[in-house]
Amino acid sequence: MAKYKSCHGIEHGLVFNGVNLLTYCSLTRSQEEGGGEPQFVNSYYGEIIDWDAFFKDRQEKREYIKTHGMLPQCKNCIYLEEKEWSGEDKLEYILITNYIACNSKCTYCPMPDPKNSKLYNIVPVLKDMIKKEIIKKDGRIEFAGGEPTIYKWFNEALKIINKNKFQHIVVNTNAIIFSKEIYNGIKNGVLEMVVSLDAGTKETHEKVKGVKSFDKVWKNLDKYSSVYKYKEGGNLLKTKFIIVPDLNDKEEEIDLWLQRTAKTKIKNVSLNIDFQWIFTNTENIEGMKKILDLSDYFILKAKEYDLIPDIYPNIKDIHHRYNKMVPDEKKHENKYCT
C-alpha cells in the first residue's frame, strides 16, 4: 500500500459513459479546472475490453500522480483524497450510464443530446467482466442514464448481475416505469434504488421533471417499498431532491416531499443542487446562503420524520466556498460537512 493523493475513480472505477467513452469517473461538465473524466478509450461501442491494456493504463495514471501530484484533468477536484491506496487490479465500482434517452425532461439534466450517443449492448462486456472476475463481488455496480428502465438491455444486464450474486447493485431511476427486476432485487436485499422526486407537490414536480408523472411515480414507489426492509449498512432505498433555484427552492416543497417519503418504508433521503447552477453562481453569496439554509431545514425536518438525511458533496462544496467568502460573523455553521 502506498500513501498519495488520488480518488476512488482512478483507483477502482470504470464508467461506460453516455457519449461512447470509457472513463475513470463521471464528472460531466465538472467545475474542476481540469474538466474531470480522465479517459481510457474515446470511442467505445460495447467491444470486449483488453483488460491488460486497461490495468496498464490505470497503473501509468497512478505513477503519473505519484510524481506530478495529480492528473491535469483532476485539478481542484473535491474527490481527491490523500490516503493509502491498495493498488489492486480489480474494479470496485462500475457505472453503466451509456444509455442517455429518457422519459422525463428534467430541467437540470446534464445529459447530452441522445443524437450524440451511439446505442450499444452492455451485456457481452458485462459477461466478460464477470467471467474474468474483473469486478469484486462486493463491488458496486450502478446504473444511471438517461432512464435505465427504458434501456433495451437493462433487464438482461440486471438478471446476469443478480444471477452472479453481486450484492451491491444501484439503480438511479425516475420510477415512472415499474420494473419487476428492480422489485426482485429490492426484495432480495441486493439492490439499492435512488429516485429523484425534486418536489413535494404535483405542480412543481411537473415543472422540474417536464412530464406529468407524480402519481405514477409514488404508486411505483409504494410497490417497491412494500418489499423493502431497511438494514443499517445494507442496500438502501432513497428519495432525492435536487434543488433547482427559482423553481423548487421552497421549504414547503421539501417538507411535503419528506412527509410523503415517511409514509413509505423508505428511510433515506438525499439533497443535492442543480450542477449547472453551481457553475454559473460561483460568486452568488446570497444564493449560496439560501441553499445552505434549505439544507439545514432539510436535515431538521428529515430527523423530525424519523428519516436519515444525506447531503451531496456539491452542497458541502458550496458550504466551504461560502465560508471562505464571508466575514467570520456570517460564517455558516457546519451541520453536515466533514
Give the footprint of ligand SF4 on this chain (CB under 6 A): 7, 9-10, 24-25, 27, 32, 36, 38, 71, 73-74, 77, 79-80
Nearer to ligand SF4, 22 or 191 (CB): 22
SS (H, E, C) 135-202: EEEEEEEEECCCCHHHCCCHHHHHHHHHHCCCCEEEEECCCCCCCHHHHHHHHCCCEEEEEECCCCCH
Question: Phi then psi for 331, rounded to 5 degrees?
Answer: -60, 145
Nearer to ligand SF4, 8 or 290 (CB): 8
Helix (H, G, I), strand (E, B) or coil at 325: helix
Q: Considering the complex, what minimum distance in angstroms separates the CB of residue 312 from ligand SF4?
A: 14
Q: Considering the complex, what minimum distance in angstroms separates the CB of residue 247 from ligand SF4?
A: 28
The Cα 18–Cα 1 span in angstroms is: 33
Give the residue among 24, 39, 138 at the shortest CA–CA distance from 80.
24
Nearer to ligand SF4, 75 or 223 (CB): 75
The Cα 26–Cα 33 span in angstroms is: 15
Nearer to ligand SF4, 35 or 189 (CB): 35
Nearer to ligand SF4, 34 or 210 (CB): 34
Which residues face 3 on adjacent strands?
84
Q: Considering the complex, what minimum distance in angstroms separates the CB of residue 62 from ligand SF4?
A: 12
Question: Phi then psi for 192, rounded to 5 degrees?
Answer: -105, 140
Q: How many CA atoms lie within 13 A of 44 on its CB side?
A: 26
Q: Considering the complex, what minimum distance in angstroms separates the CB of residue 186 from ligand SF4?
A: 29
Q: Considering the complex, what minimum distance in angstroms separates the CB of residue 314 from ligand SF4?
A: 13
DSSP summary character for residue 178: -
Look up residue 188 and give its three cell numbers. 432480495
Nearer to ligand SF4, 19 or 237 (CB): 19
Q: Considering the complex, what minimum distance in angstroms separates the CB of residue 33 from ligand SF4?
A: 10
